[in-house]
A and B are shown apart, each in its own frame.
Chain A
Amino acid sequence: MPFAYQLPSDVSPATVANTSSLLRIIALALISGAAIASRLFAVINFESIIHEFDPWFNYRATKVIAEKGFYEFWNWFDPTAWYPLGRVVGGTIYPGLMATSGVIYSLLHAINLPVDIRNICVLLAPGFSALTAWSTYMFTKELKDESAGLLAAVFIGIVPGYISRSVAGSYDNEAIAIFLLMFTFFCWIKALKIGSAFYGSLAALFYFYMVAAWGGYAFITNMIPLHAFALILMGRFSSRLYVAYSSWYAIGTLSSMQVPFVGFQPVRTSEHMAALGVFGLLQIIAFAELVRTHVSSKQFQSLLYASVVGMGITGALAIIGLTYKGWIAPWTGRFYSLWDTGYAKKYIPIIASVSEHQPTAWPSFFMDLQLLIFLFPAGVIMCFRQLRDEHVFVIIYAVVASYFAGVMVRLMLTLTPVVCVTAAVAFSSLLDTYIDPAEPDVLEDDSNTGQDAPTSGTSTAVSTSSPAPSLKKAKKAAAAAPPAGPLDGLVSTVTAAVSSSKKAGKPRGVFGLDTRIAVLINALGMLFFFVMHCTYVTSTAYSSPSVVLASTNPDGSQHIIDDFREAYYWLRQNTPETAVVMSWWDYGYQIAGMADRPTLVDNNTWNNTHIATVGKAMSSSEEVAYPILRKHDVDYVLIIFGGLLGYSGDDINKFLWMVRIAQGVWPDEIQEPNYFTPKGEYRVDEAASSTMKNSLMYKMSYYRFAELFGGNQAVDRVRGQQMPKVGPTLDYLDEAFTSENWIVRIYQVKKDDPLGRDLKTANAFAQGKKRKRSKPQVRRKAVS
Chain B
Amino acid sequence: MVLRWRCSPLLLLSLLLQSFVSADHSFENTAVVRTVEVAGSLVQVTTTFAVKALEGDASEYTIALGEREHERTSWLEAKIKGQAAILPLFEGGYDPEIGVHFYTVALPHAMKINETANLVVETVETHATYPWPEQASQKDPQSLKYETDLFVVSPYKTLVERIKFRTPTPNIHSYTNPPGLDDFTVEIPVTKSGATITYGPFNNIPITSAKEFLDAKQEHVAVHYAYDSPLVEVMKLKRSAEISHWGANLNIEDTFHLRNAGPALKGHFSRLEHQSTMFYGRPPPHVLPSLTVQLPAGIHSPYYYDLIGNVSTSHLRTSPSQGKNGRSQPSLLELRPRYPLMGGWNYTFTLGWDSPLADYSSYEKATGKYIVGIPLMTMIPGAVVDEAEINIILPEAATDVDYYPPFVPTESGITTHVTYLDTVGRPAIVLRYGRLTHKHAGVIYVTYKVPVTAHLKKPLAVATAFMGLFALGFLAKRLDISIQKK
Q: Would A and B touch once assembled, by the CB under 8 A criterion?
A: yes
Name A residues whose Cβ lies closer than 8 Å to a Cβ of B. 47-49, 111-114, 560, 562, 565-570, 572-574, 594, 704, 707-708, 734-740, 742, 748, 781
* Contacts known (A573-B345, A739-B271, A742-B271); A112 close to B309, Cβ less than 8 A: no
8 Å CB contact of A569 from B267, B276, B306, B422: B306
Q: Which of B308, B313, B348 has the largest number of chain A CB atoms within 10 A?
A: B308
Say whether B346 faces chain A, with CB atoms less than 8 Å apart: yes
A-B CB pair tally, cutoff 8 Å: 71
Give the residues in chain B near A748, CB-CB below 8 Å.
268
Q: A112-B418, A113-B420, A114-B419 are in contact. Are A707 and B272 (CB under 8 A)?
A: yes
Closest CB in chain A relative to B482 CB, distance in Å: 9
A49-B309, A734-B268, A748-B268 known; A573+B420 contact, CB < 8 A? no
A-B contact pairs, 6 of them (CB 8 A): A111-B421, A560-B312, A562-B313, A565-B309, A735-B270, A737-B269
A358 smallest CB distance to B (angstroms): 31
B266 contacts partner chain A, Cβ-Cβ < 8 Å? no
B307 touches A572 (CB 8 A): yes
Q: Are A570 and B339 interface neighbours, CB within 8 A? A: yes
Of the residues A114, A569, A594, A737, contact of B420 by C-beta under 8 Å: A114
B360 CB contacts on chain A under 8 angstroms: none
B59 to chain A, nearest CB (A): 54
B-chain residues with CB within 8 Å of residue A594 when the two chains form the complex: 308
Report yes or no: A113 in contact with B308, Cβ–Cβ below 8 A: no
CA of A562 to CA of B420, assembled, Å: 33
Q: Which residues of A contact B418 (CB under 8 A)?
A: 112
For A562, the chain B residues whose CB sits under 8 A away are 311-313, 338
Q: Determine how close the nearest CB of chain B comes to the CB of A403; give it in whole angstroms.
A: 40
* Contact between B419 and A112, CB atoms less than 8 A apart: yes
Contact of B347 with A735 in the complex, beta carbons under 8 Å = no
Residues in A neighbouring B271, C-beta threshold 8 A: 737-740, 742
Asked whether B272 lies within 8 Å of A704 as measured between CB atoms, the reply is yes
The answer for the CA separation of A748 and B310 in the assembled complex, in Å, is: 28
Contact residues in B for A114 (Cβ distance below 8 Å): 419-420
A736 and B347 CA atoms in complex are apart in Å by 17
Which residues of B are interface residues toward A (Cβ below 8 A)?
A: 267-272, 275-276, 306-313, 338-339, 345-348, 418-422, 465
Chain B: which residue is nearest A46 at the CB level?
B310
Q: Which chain A residue shows the least CB distance to B346? A: A573
Q: Which of B338, B348, B418, B422 has the most chain A CB within a 10 Å cutoff? A: B338
Contact of A47 with B268 at beta-carbon distance under 8 Å, contacts A112-B422, A737-B339 already known: no
In the complex, the chain B residue whose C-beta lies closest to that of A545 is B309
A573-B348 contact, Cβ under 8 Å, with A112-B421, A113-B420 = yes
Closest to A705 in B: B272
Residues in A with CB closer than 8 Å to B422 are 112
In the complex, the answer to whether A736 meets B338 with C-beta atoms within 8 Å is no
Indicate which residue in B275, B276, B339, B346 contacts A566 across the interface (CB closer than 8 Å): B339
Q: Which of B270, B308, B346 contacts A565 (CB 8 A)?
A: B308
A781 to B271, CA, bound (A): 15
Please measure, in the bound complex, the distance between the C-alpha atom of A738 and the C-alpha atom of B342, giving whole angstroms: 13
Knowing that A113-B420, A573-B345, A736-B268 touch, tell me 7 more A-B residue pairs with CB under 8 angstroms: A47-B310, A113-B421, A567-B339, A569-B338, A572-B308, A704-B270, A738-B271
User: When the two chains form the complex, which single residue of A48, A568, A704 contacts B308, counting CB atoms closer than 8 Å?
Assistant: A568
Write out the residue numbers on chain B whose beta carbons fall within 8 Å of the beta carbon of A740.
271, 339
Considering the chains assembled together, what is the distance between the CA atoms of A111 and B269 in angstroms?
48
Nearest B-chain residue to A596, judged by Cβ:
B307
The 3 A-B pairs at the shortest CB distance, nearest first, are namely A738-B271, A560-B312, A566-B338
How distant is the Cα of A572 from the Cα of B309 in the complex, in angstroms? 13
Q: Are B421 and A574 in contact (CB under 8 A)?
A: no
Partner of A708, one of B275, B339, B348: B275
Residues of A within 8 A of B347 (CB): 573
Q: What B residues does A565 contact at CB under 8 A?
A: 308-309, 338
A736 with B420: CB separation less than 8 A = no
Question: Contacts A112-B422, A560-B312, A573-B345 known; A738 to B270 CB distance under 8 Å?
Answer: yes
Please measure, in the bound complex, the distance between the C-alpha atom of A736 and the C-alpha atom of B420, giving whole angstroms.
Answer: 44
Residues of B within 8 A of A567 (CB): 339
CB-defined contacts of B307 to chain A, threshold 8 Å? 569, 572
Q: Which residue of chain B has the shortest Cβ distance to A733 in the bound complex?
A: B268
Contacts of A569 in B (CB 8 A): 306-308, 338-339
A735 touches B268 (CB 8 A): yes
Bound form: Cα–Cα A776–B97 in Å: 58
B275 — nearest CB in chain A belongs to which residue? Answer: A708
- Give bound CA distance, A748 to B265, whole Å: 15
B276 A570 Cβ-Cβ under 8 A:
no
Chain A residue nearest in CB terms to B270:
A735
Least CB distance, B459 to chain A, in whole angstroms: 15
How near does chain B come to A698, taking the closest CB pair, in angstroms?
A: 18
CA distance A197 to B420 in the complex (A): 43
Contact A736 B309 (CB under 8 A): no
A573–B275 CA distance with the chains assembled, in angstroms: 21
CB distance from B428 to the nearest CB of A (A): 14
Q: Which residue of B lies closest to A707 (CB)?
A: B272
Which residues does chain B contribute within 8 Å of A708, judged by CB atoms? 272, 275
Taken together as a complex, chains A and B put the C-alpha atoms of A742 and B272 apart, in Å, by 9
Tell me which residues across on chain B come within 8 A of A738, comparing CB atoms. Answer: 269-272
Chain B residues in 8 Å Cβ range of A48:
309
Q: Output the least CB separation between A437 and chain B (Å).
A: 34
Listed residue (B268, B347, B418, B465) with the most chain A CB atoms within 10 angstroms of its CB: B268
